[in-house]
Amino acid sequence: MKADATTPGSMPGQVAARSSIGPVRLAATMAAATVAATSSGEAVLLGVLLGLAAADIGSAVVAVAALLALAARWGSTSLDAIAGAQAVLGLGGAVGPAAAAAATWCAAAALVVAAPAGWPAVAFGAAAALGAAGPAPGGPVDVVVRVGATAVGVALALVAGSVLPRRPAQVVGIVLATAALGLAVAS
Amino acid sequence: MTQAGGAWAALCAVVVAAWVAIALGGGDASPVTTTAAGAAAAAATAALLGAGWRVTSLGTLQTGGVLVLLLPAAAAGAVGGSTALLAVALGLLAAVEVAVASTARFSEGLTPQSGVHASQNGGWGRSEGRGRDGRPQLAPTDHADPVPDVPAEIEGDSLDLEVDPLPAASIGGDRSAVWAVPRRRRRPRRRRGRMRPVLEAMALVCGSALLAAGLVAERIDDGGWVLPGGYRPALGLLLVGAAVVVVTAALGPPRAWALAVPALAVALPIADHLPAGPGAAVAGGLAVAAALAVSSRPTVALGALAVAAAASSAPLGATASLLAAGAVLALAVDHRAAALLGLPGAAALATAVVPPGRSGPAVVVAGATAATALVLVLRAGGAPGQIRPPRPPLSAAPALVLAGWLLLAPGTWAWAGGDGTGAYNRGAAVAVAAAALAAATGIRDRLPADTPPAASAQPSLPADHGTAGPAVVPVPARRQGRLRPAPQRPEPPADG
């Protein structure tokens, strides 16, 4: 933990509580979470931002692969297009073909499982929600679905990041992301 | 020298402005016809010439002045469709490099890795060696008595000597004593430092001569200066020459940087007419190999990926241009993290590959891009957020500005085909806004910590046992007398 500021009035030797992530990771986390929550941007860019937020090569690989699987599932790397397609055709995890829906769930699960501990998990959860149930807001129902899915995704990612052991979880994430890529290409 | 530098800057600005005006005014300036892409290539060439060339004598001013005038125009013409001027410029350059190599080989005194020495011997640019961290390195001398050359080297304004400050008493007023420190420190690498400028110059001679010979052969066979022609041996010469030039520019002296632009301008249209599958596979494999071999200089890998994208199929033309732009900018940034400049090209590649109906070569290029990115990140020594490379030099500031422009708004690089990256542009804008907001509001200090407040980082002494702090491992009494303070290990990431 990086702790370099002394709180005024604190006991000698005590240092202030500060978030353990550095400024670059925090900026990347904020950027990735915003891009995922607003569905504005591009899949590769979001994957790189997630990798920067995680500051871990395993999580970065999982993020890029899972988002590319989502892009292949919808036929576009534009996050606007992915959200718009879900608003028109149905949620990514609920609309067929079956292989494509399975690819969506695999990609979302990969993002949740490979989420790092701490605040960067929020961005991973938001990205997973974007893929599984992230329609563009066309009405109140879409907004409720999107917000609910994001809340669930973020909660799951936070839990997974703090509970699951890091390396085995990343291996599982890589397997899931690879399966998602294969299913998306095959669908 | 300051006045000469100002004169160079003015000259460079005139050249760039002229070519931009030519491009905007209809793109025709006989005998060279160019386009917006050609104007950009001319500007990049002129800027890289300025970054790698330093006026240190009248000879360098004259030689470099000719190149400043000729090479950007040649690059613009090559992109616009006529390579006649480029053949002339490359021939002239090869002749100059022969002179550099010969003077470097037979010169006495200090090795010509210093800018002053190279200029005194006819070199046309700054040629000091650079370490892996991008800082100039002092090459050792092979001579027992370097005193005769010392004043010129010490007074030169282009040197950045890594000389340990010595007490005045140890120097004793003798300036030769100053050289004793670097000579003693660099002694094991003496021969390598001596031969390096010769090898660099010879590589530049080979690359330039191959390119010029290929262009002339095309002209003789086809009767025109337009690339790509139909004479396959000439195309092979051109591709090999371009590869040699790009590798030399990435690994060699800064004076070679500007040559990467015309080399890529020649290689991309030729690659576009190669057989798609084998061309993409070979160039993609070379990109991965380059990432493995020289990960600290991502220009080679990005350039090879650009060639692979150009070879794969027509829809990847924008990808090739964006990757080539990233490769050229990475030269001037001269930083390991410059590999990120391939991100817009990679995004454009994904956009082209993801829709149904993708071709096999395009998928091959995508795989090579992913493998190259993975290798570059792994070789960088850690995860993306943990990379701590050395800070770029101040002279790279203009290139950093352009690099930021390319990273954040490739859609405005219309000449490179970046106008199809609208989604990337929107995402980059949103990301920058969110990151800036996070930085401006100081949200990092307001976030609750992942772990509770810790005590001081100082290790607890046995007397502190029981207070807050790391646990103290009991040590057997018979070993306590042999204990030494253990070196502090870096803390693992809190999220690990």
Query: Which of A54, A42, A68 lies closest to B407 in space, CA to CA?
Result: A42
Across the interface, whether the CB atoms of B384 and A60 are under 8 A apart is answered yes
Across the interface, whether the CB atoms of A31 and B452 are under 8 A apart is answered no
b/e sequence A81-118, b meaning 16+ C-beta within 10 Å: bbbbbbbeeebbbeeeeeebbbbbbbbbbbbbbbbbbb
Closest chain A C-alpha to B176 CA, distance in angstroms: 46
Nearest C-alpha in A relative to B448: A19
Q: Which residues of B touch A42 (CB under 8 A)?
A: 347, 350-351, 421, 423-424, 427
- Backbone angles phi and psi of A78, in degrees to 5: -75, 125
Is-contact B207 B263, C-beta < 8 A?
Answer: yes
Across the interface, whether the CB atoms of B449 and A19 are under 8 A apart is answered yes
pLDDT of B201:
83
pLDDT of A154:
92
- Indicate whether B260 belongs to any domain: yes
pLDDT of B170:
41
Across the interface, whether the CB atoms of A55 and B385 are under 8 A apart is answered yes
Domain endpoint, select from B435, B450, B465:
B435
Question: Is a pLDDT exceeding 60 seen at residue A4?
Answer: no
The stretch A81-87 carries a mean pLDDT of: 89
Question: Residue B230 — very low, low, confident or very high, per pLDDT cuts 50/70/90?
Answer: confident
Q: Which residues of B touch A1 (CB under 8 A)?
A: 449-451, 454, 491, 494
* Residue A4 token pair: 């370099």
Question: Residue B200 — very low, low, confident or very high, per pLDDT cuts 50/70/90?
Answer: confident
Q: Which of B340, B351, B354, B451 to mutate to test the interface with A (most CBs of A within 10 A)?
A: B354
pLDDT tens, residue by residue, B475-484: 444 444 444 4
pLDDT of B193:
63
Q: How many domains does chain B have?
A: 2
Cα atoms in the 13 Å half-sphere on the side-chain side of A165: 3
The stretch B79-91 carries a mean pLDDT of: 81
Is-contact B218 B231, C-beta < 8 A?
Answer: yes
- Asked whether residue B352 falls in the same domain as residue B246, the answer is no
From CA B92, how far away is CA B254, in angstroms rounded? 18
Q: Give ∠ CA B27-B31-B34 in degrees, rounded to 5.
A: 25
Contact B461/A at CB under 8 A: no
The stretch A123-138 carries a mean pLDDT of: 86
- Asked whether residue B283 falls in the same domain as residue B311, the answer is yes
- Indicate whether B167 belongs to any domain: no
B323-to-A178, B211, B309, B352, B365 alpha-carbon distances in Å: 26, 22, 9, 14, 12
Question: Residue B110 — very low, low, confident or very high, per pLDDT cuts 50/70/90?
Answer: very low
Question: Residue B134 — very low, low, confident or very high, per pLDDT cuts 50/70/90?
Answer: very low
- Asked whether residue B206 falls in the same domain as residue B349, the answer is no
Give the percent of chain A with pLDDT over 90. Answer: 36
pLDDT of B115:
38
Nearest C-alpha in B relative to A115: B495
pLDDT of B452:
44
b/e sequence B222-241, b meaning 16+ C-beta within 10 Å: eeebbbbbebeebbebbbbb
Top pLDDT among A108 and B447 is at: A108
Question: Is a pLDDT exceeding 70 seen at residue B166?
Answer: no
- Asked whether residue B232 falls in the same domain as residue B375, the answer is no
Contacts of B178 (CB under 8 A, 6+ apart): B150, B154, B163, B166, B171
Query: Which of A153, A135, A114 lies closest to A33 in space, CA to CA?
Result: A153
Top pLDDT among B353 and B136 is at: B353
pLDDT tens, residue by residue, B432-470: 999 888 888 766 666 665 544 444 434 433 333 333 333
- Indicate whether B448 belongs to any domain: no
From CA B114, how far away is CA B111, in angstroms rounded? 7
Give the percent of chain B with pLDDT over 90. Answer: 4
- Indicate whether B177 belongs to any domain: no
Question: Is a pLDDT exceeding 50 seen at residue A58?
Answer: yes
What single-letter amino acid sits at A123? A
pLDDT of A45:
92
Q: Which of A6, A18, A39 to mutate to test the interface with B (most CBs of B within 10 A)?
A: A18
Q: Which residues of A touch B430 (CB under 8 A)?
A: 31, 34-35, 38, 40-41
Residue given tokens 């010439």 in the structure block: B49
- Asked whether residue B219 falls in the same domain as residue B338, the answer is no
- Asked whether residue B205 falls in the same domain as residue B342, the answer is no
pLDDT of A131:
83
If you average pLDDT over each of B215-219, B313-317, B365-369, which comes out highest? B365-369
- Asked whether residue B313 falls in the same domain as residue B417, the answer is yes
Beta bridge mates, B130? B136
pLDDT of B55:
61
Nearest C-alpha in B relative to A79: B423
- Indicate whether B38 belongs to any domain: yes
> CB-CB: which of B423, B450, B451 is closest to A41?
B423
Question: Is a pLDDT exceeding 60 seen at residue B492?
Answer: no
The stretch B36-62 carries a mean pLDDT of: 71
Average per-residue pLDDT in chain B? Answer: 68
pLDDT of B362:
84
pLDDT of B471:
39
From CA B424, how far away is CA B324, in angstroms rounded? 18
Contact B452/A at CB under 8 A: yes
Across the interface, whether the CB atoms of A32 and B431 are under 8 A apart is answered yes
- Indicate whether B11 belongs to any domain: yes
Across the interface, whether the CB atoms of B347 and A77 are under 8 A apart is answered yes
A29-to-A26, A34, A134 alpha-carbon distances in Å: 5, 8, 19
- Asked whether residue B403 falls in the same domain as residue B348, the answer is yes
- Asked whether residue B280 falls in the same domain as residue B260, the answer is no
Distance, CA of B139 to chain centre: 21
Q: What is the pTM of this model?
A: 0.72
Closest chain B C-alpha to A178 CA, distance in angstroms: 13
Domain endpoint, select from B227, B244, B267:
B267
Contact B177/A at CB under 8 A: no
pLDDT of B381:
59
Domain endpoint, select from B267, B292, B312:
B267
From CA B454, how far away is CA B460, in angstroms rounded? 13
Instruction: Count CB neighbours of B447 within 10 A.
Output: 17
Is-contact A50 A145, C-beta < 8 A?
Answer: no
From CA B210, how far away is CA B206, in angstroms rounded? 6
- Asked whether residue B111 falls in the same domain as residue B233, the answer is yes
Q: Give ∠ CA B247-B252-B257 in degrees, rounded to 5.
A: 75
pLDDT of B17:
66
- Asked whether residue B239 falls in the same domain as residue B315, the answer is no
pLDDT tens, residue by residue, B286-308: 999 988 888 788 889 999 999 99
Closest chain B C-alpha to A76 CA, distance in angstroms: 6
Is-contact B335 B310, C-beta < 8 A?
Answer: no
Question: Is a pLDDT exceeding 60 seen at residue B97?
Answer: yes
Range of the structural domain that residue B292 is part of: 274-385+395-435
From CA B321, how far away is CA B309, in angstroms rounded? 9
**Which helix H or strand E contains B202, and what residues bound it?**
helix B190-222
Is-contact B87 B216, C-beta < 8 A?
Answer: yes
> CB-CB: which of A24, A48, A68 is closest to B343?
A48
Question: Residue B350 — very low, low, confident or very high, per pLDDT cuts 50/70/90?
Answer: confident
* Residue B459 token pair: 């290790």
Across the interface, whether the CB atoms of A41 and B426 are under 8 A apart is answered yes
B378-to-B291, B294, B371, B382 alpha-carbon distances in Å: 10, 12, 10, 6
pLDDT tens, residue by residue, B401-427: 888 888 888 888 877 776 667 888 889
Contact B428/A at CB under 8 A: yes
Question: Is a pLDDT exceeding 90 seen at residue A109?
Answer: yes
The stretch B334-359 carries a mean pLDDT of: 83
- Asked whether residue B400 falls in the same domain as residue B309, the answer is yes
From CA B301, how far away is CA B401, in angstroms rounded? 22
Question: Residue A155 — very low, low, confident or very high, per pLDDT cuts 50/70/90?
Answer: very high
From CA B215, how far away is CA B86, in angstroms rounded? 8
Contact A6/B at CB under 8 A: no
Across the interface, whether the CB atoms of B424 and A45 are under 8 A apart is answered yes
Instruction: Count CB neighbours of B404 within 10 A.
Output: 13
Q: Which residues of B touch A45 (CB under 8 A)?
A: 343, 347, 424, 427-428, 431
- Indicate whether B119 belongs to any domain: yes
* Residue B158 token pair: 């282009």
- Indicate whether B344 belongs to any domain: yes
Q: Give ∠ CA B416-B337-B431 in degrees, rounded to 5.
A: 70
pLDDT of A66:
93
From CA B201, how far away is CA A66, in angstroms rounded? 47
Contact A97/B at CB under 8 A: no
Lowest mean pLDDT among A129-133, B32-36, B381-385: B381-385
Burial class (CB in 10 A: 0-12, 13-18, 19+), A152: middle
Lowest mean pLDDT among B93-97, B248-252, B431-435: B93-97
pLDDT tens, residue by residue, A167-181: 888 899 999 999 998
Instruction: Count CB neighbours of B114 within 10 A.
Output: 27
Closest chain A C-alpha to B425 CA, distance in angstroms: 7
Closest chain A C-alpha to B491 CA, distance in angstroms: 7
* Residue B434 token pair: 């969110």
Question: Residue A106 — very low, low, confident or very high, per pLDDT cuts 50/70/90?
Answer: very high
The stretch B39-61 carries a mean pLDDT of: 71
Pairing of strands B32-33, B129-130: unpaired
Contact B409/A at CB under 8 A: no
**Which helix H or strand E contains B69, and what residues bound it?**
helix B58-80
Top pLDDT among B493 and B397 is at: B397
pLDDT of A174:
92
Q: Which residues of A touch B444 (CB under 8 A)?
A: 18-19, 21, 23, 26
